[in-house]
């Protein structure tokens, strides 16, 4: 079991207090929520003890006083942009967020389609949102942005966007992914609120980088690795250093835009409220790290995983060569390599023993379990079945699923598919196990123990298909694949 280095309960307590203090400064606070609102697996992996649903638990503390505005970029809709972690579109993620937040008693008041310029798919999505009984607004590009502050803070700029009706003291502005227009939406609202005589404020909730950790701390470098495709770079907040004499870490985009943002806020509110990007933030995550050495190790492991994934994405043609190269440079800076992912070495060793057959390895605690492609099973399916046997102390020679069950599944799969495949993927194998469990108590016990795979590390010597990667992610398994490793 991974040792924890983060106190989630302390975080909830002091984070709630921090946000309440910021709310108290204004009649209404627009709080931009960066990163993932739900399923924050990066934070959970980088800071063991941070729970993937911790932000939702935090929002539930404010559910009587808060509402959520979700932003989605019209161009992301038009291009069918995909969230890589769940392999779903941004539109689907917005719908998932609405449904999930409502189920937790959190009020979602509206969706804003940003950078709208008549895109047909954006209009179609707005129609779909009617089924969810949610208000939809269209915001266009802000005239004058980013340099002409006089135009930005005018009826031609932010004033050209419709006012989003809000009724609560805390307004959370979130999105399915980056570059969705959260900041522009919040500032547009501040402009309209000021014209209505409402003293509204803005603040930013960002989990990473952690402003109170050193610039080159592995936790902060892990953030750079996670955003390598966006080109984010951690930097010392020189505005904060100049004003307060205190070192704080922020990132390039916030530092670059702060002078303009500061002036915009000053024009809208009538006075200077923030003197640095760090001032705008409300996150207290650094105060809740309980074991710095464990945090450093977990962050280094996450950086290596990011490298493997970026290299795999390069093979798929979905990232530029600069992305894995950037992460590799970060690894060099920390003195770590891809060989430090032991489970990848175990998979490579298995492939060598198996005469080059696609192989995989999984690490559960201190145990390493391996598997290879067989006549019926993909390497992922094989290693997962071996892992389930190990966890449940079932002898290796026992077949959890008889060939007589697997054969007809594979036959019907090939009859109904355009592509002939020689083996079954993990999702199909789990369905087969669930069918067998109705008559086999041993298999039922195995399925009851699937949660014991959560937090396991897995590596495949060959590319993992998107559908298998989704299953592994849903099981809480950290999977990588695809890079050739020299084990000589």
Running along the chain, 488 residues long, what does each successive block of 10 average in pLDDT? 90 97 96 88 95 93 96 94 78 95 96 96 96 96 92 96 97 93 96 95 95 97 95 96 97 93 92 94 96 98 97 92 97 97 96 95 96 92 95 87 78 70 85 88 91 95 92 94 77
CATH 3.10.630.10 intervals, the chain: 8-212+238-288
pLDDT at 484: 77
CATH 3.30.70.360 fits 341-481, yes or no: no
CATH 3.40.140.40 intervals, the chain: 341-481
Whether the pTM exceeds 0.85: the reply is: yes
SS (HEC) of the chain? CCCCCECHHHHHHHHHHHHHHHHCCCCEEEEEECCCCCCCHHHHHHCECECCCHHHHHHHCCCCCEEEEEEEEHHHHHCCCEECCCCEEHHHHHHHHHHHHHHCCCCEEEEEEECCCCCHHHHHHHHHHHHHCCEEEECCCCCCCCCCHHHHCCCCCHHHCCCCCCCCCEEEEECCCCCCCHHHHHHHHHHHHHHCCCCEEEEEECCCCCCCCCCCCHHHHHHHHHCCCCCCCEEECHHHHHHHCCCCEEEHHHHHHHHHHHHHHHHHHCCCCCCCHHHHECCCHHHHECCHHHHHHHHHHHHHHHHHHHHHHHHHCCCCCHHHHHHHHHHHHHCCCHHHCHHHHHHHHHHHHCCCCCEEEEEECCEEEEEECCCCECHHHHHHHHHHHHHCCCCCCCCCCCHHHHHHHHHHHHHCCCCCCCCECHHHHHHHHHHHCCCCHHHHHHHHCHHHHCCCEEEECCCCCHHHHHHHHHCCCEEEECCCCCCC
pLDDT at 413: 74
pLDDT at 396: 85
CATH 3.10.630.10 fits 8-212+238-288, yes or no: yes
């Amino acid at each position: 079991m991974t040792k924890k280095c983060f106190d989630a309960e302390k975080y909830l307590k002091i984070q709630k207090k921090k946000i309440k203090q910021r709310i108290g400064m204004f009649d209404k606070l627009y709080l931009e929520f960066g990163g993932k609102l739900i399923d924050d697996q990066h934070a959970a992996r980088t800071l063991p003890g941070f729970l993937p649903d911790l932000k939702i638990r935090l929002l539930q503390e404010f559910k009587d006083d808060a509402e959520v505005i979700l932003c989605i970029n019209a161009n992301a809709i038009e291009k069918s942009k995909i969230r890589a972690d769940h392999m779903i579109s941004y539109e689907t993620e917005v719908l998932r967020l609405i449904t999930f937040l409502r189920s937790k008693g959190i009020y979602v008041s509206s969706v804003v389609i940003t950078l709208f310029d008549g895109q047909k798919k954006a209009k179609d999505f707005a129609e779909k949102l009617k089924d969810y009984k949610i208000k939809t607004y269209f915001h266009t590009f802000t005239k004058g942005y980013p340099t002409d502050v006089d135009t930005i803070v005018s009826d031609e700029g932010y004033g050209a966007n419709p006012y989003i009706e809000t009724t609560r003291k805390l307004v959370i502005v979130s999105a399915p992914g980056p570059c969705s227009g959260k900041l522009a939406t919040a500032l547009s609202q501040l402009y309209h609120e000021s014209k209505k005589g409402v003293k509204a404020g803005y603040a930013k909730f960002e989990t990473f980088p952690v402003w109170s950790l050193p610039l080159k701390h592995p936790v902060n470098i892990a953030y750079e690795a996670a955003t390598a495709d966006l080109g984010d770079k951690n930097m010392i907040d020189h505005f904060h250093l100049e004003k307060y004499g205190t070192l704080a870490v922020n990132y390039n985009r916030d530092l670059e835009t702060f002078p303009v943002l500061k002036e915009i806020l000053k024009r809208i509110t009538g006075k200077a409220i923030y003197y640095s990007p760090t001032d705008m933030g409300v996150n207290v995550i650094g105060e809740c790290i309980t074991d710095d050495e464990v945090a450093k190790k977990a962050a280094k492991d996450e950086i290596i995983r990011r490298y493997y994934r970026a290299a795999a994405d390069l093979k798929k043609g979905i990232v530029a060569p600069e992305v894995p190269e950037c992460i590799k440079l970060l690894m060099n800076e920390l003195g770590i390599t891809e060989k430090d992912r032991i489970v990848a070495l175990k998979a490579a060793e298995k492939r060598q023993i198996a005469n080059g057959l696609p192989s995989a390895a999984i690490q559960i605690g201190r145990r390493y379990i391996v598997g290879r492609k067989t006549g019926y099973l993909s390497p992922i399916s094989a290693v997962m079945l071996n892992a389930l046997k190990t966890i449940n102390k079932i002898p290796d020679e026992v077949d959890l699923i008889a060939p007589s069950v697997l054969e007809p599944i594979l036959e019907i799969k090939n009859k109904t598919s355009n592509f002939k495949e020689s083996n079954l993927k993990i999702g199909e194998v789990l369905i087969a196990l669930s069918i067998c469990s109705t008559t086999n108590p041993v298999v039922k016990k195995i399925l009851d123990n699937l949660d014991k795979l959560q937090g396991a590390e897995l590596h495949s010597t060959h590319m993992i298909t998107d559908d298998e990667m989704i299953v592994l992610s849903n099981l809480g398994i950290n999977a990588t694949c695809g890079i050739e490793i020299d084990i000589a």
